[in-house]
Chains A and B, each alone.
Chain A
Amino acid sequence: MLRHLASILLCTATLAVAQETAPQPVLRWAADPDSNAPYTFYGSDNKLTGFEYEIINAIARHMGRKAEFVQNDWDGLIPGLGRGMYDVVICGIEITPDKAGEVLFSNPYYVTFEQLVVRKGTAPITSLDQLSGKQIGTLDQTAALSMLEKTPGVEAKTYDEEINAYQDVANGRLFGVLLDYPIAKYYAAPNPNLQFSGPPFGQIVYGIAIKKGNTELQQDINKALQEVIASGEMRDILSRWGLWTPTVAGAFGQPEDPSQADTSYKAFVASHSEEASFTTRLQRYWSYWPLLLNATILTVEISLVGMMLAIAVGFTLAIMRVFGPWPLRWIATLYIEIIRGTPLLIQLLILFYGLPNIGIKLAPFVAGVLGLGLNYAAYEAENYRAGLLAIPKGQMEAARALGMTHFQGLRFVVIPQSFRLVLPPVTNDFISLLKDSSLVSMVTLVDLTGAYNRIATQSFDFFGTGLLVAAIYLLIGLPFVRLARYTEQTLAVDQRRPNQKPGMIPGLNMINKLTNR
């Protein structure tokens, strides 16, 4: 259960030791590898790849450092930099004046433009003004979005995943998508239903983001980056990925023709061709099983530990609220109302990204467990309170009349009876928590939902992957539902008929027959 937690602690410890003793320091870099080809993403062999992946490794090598990858969600990349989870972020981040206020940027490592993609057969577009009155998709926080917002009459729609935006163009829900050229080249060009339209729009400059104030690291990275460009390594990498365009060649003052064949691009397109046969699909699913297994284990771990925390805290809150003196009652009520009245997602983000501002840095697993556990504790508390109040007053009176203390009456008479009453709602909550655990993918953990994101955006197979992951959630939940039902029936002693043996429960035989057990 706590293996995961322990391994994180162990990792941190060994990391600290390694930093002190090993001669080669590390360069911790972060990206969001989900739906992120060709920047940094998991290839069909489930290993990291991408042109940014190769660039940062080259830079680290020139710096004499060992590149170490840290995964994070796109929205958390810059906050994570602030809390010191890693040294740099390289993830297609455009150098813009407002971002430059938050972080330091390296010199540009790639220069490109916005590419408009429309459905096959659409009349050519030559200027953005022609898009007036049309719905155009793009990603949040991109240069494309601000360009669209500056164009009068354009209705900009933002997506979380580029693949969904292009899918909507193919489906006819959108007129077009405006996104960075590399994205268009990898996600739209291979799709026979889509076509590029119009000239290059604007200019986008990608830079490596560094924590504000760390100018020393900024200088080191710029020096290494310059070496990578000058040695021709940069041209080789970008050529292999099919991204060596006249724009970038001009920016680096190098020849326009690619230095190598675009093998990486071809391999990507081949592995994502639409016409995957049934057997290749099955093979592909099979190749995901180590990822899915780890993700399932993480989901179960985080849900079980979270639920245990929720039960312990919830029980304490319920006792405080039902039996405590007024200050404790008041505190418990306040806690329950605040936690129930705010979204779990916000609570998780505050725990993970907000607390470091006051010096509390939680490991992702700890933050996930705390977020889920403390949130569900509020709901558990209300369950238990209802359970405690549902026990007739006469039970405690009988216990007191027999000379028991209030505590003994609770311990031996009231709580055991409420246990059975609250079992069904608690089971409900656990199933609910199991599904809400998908939110921990927001704090860099690769749980089942994180695995779904990675697989679906990598294979473009949203339907099959969705069914697969949904089935796993269902399968995890079922045994707990059955266990709870069995326990509930075993505890239902006050409903047994006379002469019935313990363990023989009314209706259980019928249920057993019906479910053919």
Chain B
Amino acid sequence: MYPTTRMENSSEPLLSVHGLHKSFDDNPILKGVSLDVEKGDLVSIIGPSGCGKSTFLRCMNFLEIPDAGKISIAGVEIDCQGLEDAPPRDLKEKAHKLRQHVGMVFQQFNLFPHKTILENIMLAPMVVRGIPREDAEKNGLRLLEKVGLGALADRYPAQMSGGQQQRAGIARALAMNPQVMLYDEPTSALDPELVDEVLKVMKDLDNEGMTQIVVTHEMRFARDASDYIVFMEKGHIVEISDEDEIFQNPKDERTRQFLKRFI
């Protein structure tokens, strides 16, 4: 059996995934993944390339449509069984509702290059939520201040360093007031000296009680900041452990092999 949770009390999880399957063509990537995450947790997902960790993350936001399984986030529950055959309209509504609660940060930042970073942040609240321009701007500036970019509001993405761009990407996701933040290898595209400024923002958010799931290769961050670590291999969650435990005394042989390089 595969582990599914580290939850210590019996309260309702904020995010709950059950039996998630996903194949590309005939190539199975996720083979029944289940995970419960409690409010306020910071969870790191690690594992070798091709283990399905990024696909798993993208499924939680319906950027990929799962073949089977159940996803429930902040009370919105979607049963993915046969979803690909369901009327697209139905799927759109469900995915749209779910995304309202989930923020996403990308490896390549994916900022909108034709807009200043302040405009990047203001766009979705104005377009999706219909928030007036002044309010969106006020909120945008507050978020930029929070990630340390208050002075650069009028810069275009191409005028900023990778670290600054990724912090702006986080601020952009926060502008929609998500209950869960998903990070897809947020520091992999960064020069080493720029990694820390991004990780610091994530730690600050953790201290404020944000629920965060991070797919990462950044083992030091995983160990230092995570509440616990999920290890994936070949489409399964193999081990869920406390950060100290997994590095010092991995339970599973596959985890041990993978972490050998980092210990």
Contact = CB atoms under 8 A, between A and B. Distances in A.
B14 to A, nearest CB: 18
User: Considering residues A403, A404, A498, A499, which has the most beta carbons from chain B within 10 angstroms of its beta carbon?
Assistant: A403
Contact of A400 (B99, B111, B158): B99
Nearest to A497: B159
A403 B96 CA distance: 6
A498 B160 CA distance: 7
A408 B156 CA distance: 21
A247 to B, nearest CB: 77
Give the top 7 A-B pairs by smallest Cβ distance, nearest first. A402-B124, A494-B113, A398-B110, A401-B104, A394-B110, A494-B158, A498-B159
A405 B156 CA distance: 24
B63 A401 contact: yes
B76 to A, nearest CB: 13
A397 B110 contact: yes
Interface in A408-426: 408, 412-413, 416-417, 420
Interface string A5-44: 0000000000000000000000000000000000000000
A413 B155 contact: no
B146 to A, nearest CB: 18
B113 to A, nearest CB: 4
A394 B172 CA distance: 15
Interface string A469-504: 000000000000000000000010111111110000
A394 B106 CA distance: 8
In which size bucket is the chain B interface? 20 to 34
B128 A493 contact: no
Given A401-B104, A498-B160, A408 B128 contact: yes
A403 B113 contact: no
A395 interface: yes
B106 A403 contact: no
Contacts of A494: 113-114, 156-158
B159 A500 contact: yes
Given A402-B128, A496-B159, A397 B114 contact: no
B128 A398 contact: no
B100 interface: yes
A408 B157 CA distance: 21
Contacts of B160: 498
Contacts of A405: 92, 96
B85 to A, nearest CB: 16
Contact of A412 (B96, B102, B127, B156): B127
Interface in B107-130: 108, 110-114, 123-124, 127-128
B33 interface: no
Nearest to B175: A402
30 contacts: A392-B108, A394-B110, A397-B63, A398-B106, A400-B99, A401-B63, A401-B103, A401-B173, A402-B123, A402-B128, A402-B172, A402-B173, A403-B96, A403-B176, A404-B124, A404-B128, A405-B96, A412-B123, A413-B112, A413-B123, A416-B114, A417-B112, A417-B113, A417-B114, A493-B113, A494-B113, A496-B156, A496-B158, A497-B159, A498-B155
A401 B158 contact: no
A397 to B, nearest CB: 6
A397 B159 CA distance: 22
Nearest to A416: B114
A362 B113 CA distance: 46
Given A493-B156, A494-B156, A498-B155, A398 B99 contact: no
Given A392-B110, A405-B96, 17 more contacts: A397-B110, A398-B104, A401-B61, A401-B104, A401-B106, A402-B173, A403-B96, A412-B127, A413-B112, A417-B114, A493-B114, A494-B113, A496-B158, A497-B159, A498-B155, A498-B159, A499-B159
B112 A395 contact: yes
Contact of B110 (A395, A412, A496, A497): A395
Nearest to A403: B128
A427 to B, nearest CB: 19
Interface string B150-182: 000001111110000000000011001000000
A403 B100 contact: yes
B96 A401 contact: no
A137 B112 CA distance: 65
Contacts of B124: 399, 402-404
Contacts of B113: 417, 493-494
Which of A398, A402, A498 has most B Cβ within 10 Å? A402
Contacts of B123: 402, 412-413
A503 to B, nearest CB: 13
